Amino acid sequence: MPRCTYFPERGSDGYGVEHYDLALEYRVGPNRLAATARLSAVAAERLDRFELDLGPFRIARVLVDGRPAKFRHRRTRLHVTPAKAVPAGARFLVEVRYSGNPNPVSSHWGGLGWEQLTDGSLVAGQPIGAPSWFPCNDRPDDKAAYRISVTTASGYHVVSNGGLAAKTSSGATTTWVYEQDEPMATYLASVQIGRYQSVEVAGAVPQRLVYPGAVRDRVRYDFGRQHEMITAFTELFGPYPFPSYTVVITADDLEIPVEAQGMSTFGANHVDGRRGSERLVAHELAHQWFGNSLTLGRWKDIWLHEGFASYAEWLWSEVSGGETAAAHAARWHARLSRLPQDLVLADPGPRDIFDDRVYKRGALTLHALREAMGDDAFFSMLRVWTSQNRHGTVTTEDFTVLAGRHAAPALLEGWLYQEALPRL
């Protein structure tokens, strides 16, 4: 798949990464990172040189297959010239040793990536924040397995993607090692560091809540129905796609929750003891199917993530005894009809990928499809969608081919490719 035209300065199609091994040493107070990254990759073509995406760190050395390589680091691109060209089809290993202060990547939506908190840090990488903390091929369709090791002061709790493979202490520091075996896009890689407690939650899928002690009771109540959500979504969407699910609540307030593979991060402001943010709990959980297991191959297809997660909010409302999805759809259709009709859902443009119209019009598209197909056929189709594409990348065209077997193509044509909002 060609490099995404929304962010043409990101990523490379000359190679694909199979595995990232990230060894990080982090000091919280000065926000200081010293790291070694090892990337196991496969050349798609002969590589006399290649590029990695990486923020403004100091590069100590770059090795390719164990041999020193020449490199040049400009802005967010690390240009590497190996001692010997890598043949097309060959596997090769890149090692980068680097250090510095990780800072978010500037963007139209604010800072993205590694962010320092009052007492800790978090990573919110969507869509182009991954280079703020590790060298990578920053394109969503290049999914890989990960091993992420973080060494920091022992008073802090570290959470990352995948399962905790090891935890060892030495003196005043502790090393946490996480392994993510299922393929993951770079923007979904995450590290959360804070003075947290954790508790395991019983359910069909192992769950863990990680939080500051001060909000313990509110967290336990506000996320108390999450296991029911997993059960409901499993029935509607198919099996939960990962071995476990972790929710981190930071001591700081956050503008919005943060999505990552196998985990989500909420701010203290999202925990009120009244389940006031439960729709967001459902939204982030649904991303484990739509966004993390099934990941867009191009950012223009963002509705395949946000439209589905937004519709999951309405479905949870319906399942849990609240308003029906039809009631939500009618209200949001009326709201969107009063907004500018200048957005194409299947290609909103890079500045509008997080426009609320993408979220809600995407949900409306699914509701219109459900109405046309009927519940049995619609949810059966969704389960086929998640099963056929499990841990892969997807496009709008992939979905329309599947949905077109059950509904008139003209229905999706209007919702996906026309600016004017169709009638509900």
Read off the pLDDT of residues 36-75 as tens digits, 9 standing for 90 and up: 999 999 999 999 999 999 999 999 999 999 999 999 999 8
pTM across the whole model: 0.97
In this structure, are 66 and 169 located in the same domain?
yes
Q: Which residues have C-beta within 8 Å of that of residue 380, sequence separation ≥ 6?
A: none
What per-residue confidence (pLDDT) applies to 407? 78
Residue 5, domain member (yes or no): no
Residue 424, domain member (yes or no): no
What per-residue confidence (pLDDT) applies to 406? 81
- Inform me whether the pLDDT recorded for 112 exceeds 50: yes
Q: What would the two tokens of residue 381 be?
A: 């189709």
In this structure, are 223 and 345 located in the same domain?
no
**pLDDT above 70 as % of the chain:** 99
Residue 129, domain member (yes or no): yes
Residue 8, domain member (yes or no): no
Task: Kindly report the CATH number assigned to the domain that includes residue 305.
Answer: 1.10.390.10
Angle 409-417/356-373 helices, nearest 10 degrees? 170
Parallel/antiparallel/unpaired status of strands 173-184 and 263-266 = unpaired
Q: Which residues have C-beta within 8 Å of that of residue 179, sequence separation ≥ 6?
A: 145, 146, 147, 148, 162, 163, 165
Residue 1, domain member (yes or no): no
Which of 81, 83, 82, 74 minimizes the C-alpha distance to 53? 74
Task: Kindly report the CATH number assigned to the domain that includes residue 250.
Answer: 3.30.2010.30
Q: What would the two tokens of residue 284 be?
A: 């982030």
Task: Indicate the residue among 225, 252, 286 that finishes a domain.
Answer: 286
What per-residue confidence (pLDDT) applies to 196? 98
Residue 147, domain member (yes or no): yes
Question: Region 339-351: what's the mean pLDDT?
Answer: 97
Band (pLDDT 50/70/90 cuts) for residue 256 is very high
Distance in angstroms (rounded) separating the CA atoms of residues 93 and 134: 15
What per-residue confidence (pLDDT) applies to 264? 98
Band (pLDDT 50/70/90 cuts) for residue 4 is low
In this structure, are 299 and 399 located in the same domain?
yes
DSSP 366: H
Residue 70, domain member (yes or no): yes
Task: Tell me the residue range of the domain where 142 lies.
Answer: 15-189
Q: What are phi and psi of 64, to 5 degrees?
A: -125, 120
pLDDT tens digits, one per residue of 75-90: 899 999 999 999 999 9
Distance in angstroms (rounded) separating the CA atoms of residues 91 and 326: 51
Which of 87, 86, 69 minimizes the C-alpha distance to 78? 69
Task: Indicate the residue among 189, 215, 234 that finishes a domain.
Answer: 189
**pLDDT above 90 as % of the chain:** 96
- The mean pLDDT of the chain is 96
Distance in angstroms (rounded) separating the CA atoms of residues 15 and 30: 35
In this structure, are 54 and 78 located in the same domain?
yes
Q: What would the two tokens of residue 405 be?
A: 């077997």
**140 prior amide bond cis, ω within 30:** no
Parallel/antiparallel/unpaired status of strands 197-201 and 163-170 = unpaired
Q: Give the other-Cβ count within 10 Å of 341's Cβ.
A: 12
In this structure, are 163 and 205 located in the same domain?
no
Identify the H or E element spanning 231. helix 226-237
Contact predicate 325/317, CB 8 Å: yes
In this structure, are 136 and 240 located in the same domain?
no
pLDDT tens digits, one per residue of 390-405: 999 999 999 999 998 8
Strands of 104-172, DSSP E: 113-117, 120-124, 144-153, 157-160, 163-170
Question: Region 106-130: what's the mean pLDDT?
Answer: 96
Question: Region 1-15: what's the mean pLDDT?
Answer: 83
In this structure, are 41 and 167 located in the same domain?
yes
In this structure, are 262 and 203 located in the same domain?
yes
3-class DSSP state of 262: coil
Q: Give the other-Cβ count within 10 Å of 220's Cβ.
A: 15
DSSP 139: -
3-class DSSP state of 282: helix
Q: Measured at the alpha carbon of residue 126, what is the angle toward residues 293 and 277, in degrees to the nearest 5?
A: 80
Which of 372, 37, 25, 20 minimizes the C-alpha distance to 180? 20
What per-residue confidence (pLDDT) applies to 1? 46
Task: Indicate the residue among 286, 311, 329 that finishes a domain.
Answer: 286
Parallel/antiparallel/unpaired status of strands 207-211 and 197-201 = antiparallel
Count the helix, strand and coil residues of the chain and give each as a percent rounded to the nearest 5: 30, 35, 40
Structural domains in the chain (count): 3
Residue the block writes with tokens 């202490």: 169
- Inform me whether the pLDDT recorded for 2 exceeds 60: no
Distance in angstroms (rounded) separating the CA atoms of residues 295 and 390: 9
pLDDT tens digits, one per residue of 133-179: 999 999 999 999 999 999 999 999 999 999 999 999 999 999 999 99
In this structure, are 219 and 270 located in the same domain?
yes
The dihedral over CA atoms of 213, 215, 221, 224, expressed in degrees to the nearest 10, equals: -60
Q: What would the two tokens of residue 150 be?
A: 């973080």
- Inform me whether the pLDDT recorded for 294 exceeds 80: yes
In this structure, are 380 and 305 located in the same domain?
yes
Residue 261, domain member (yes or no): yes
In this structure, are 218 and 348 located in the same domain?
no
Question: Region 373-399: what's the mean pLDDT?
Answer: 97
In this structure, are 243 and 208 located in the same domain?
yes
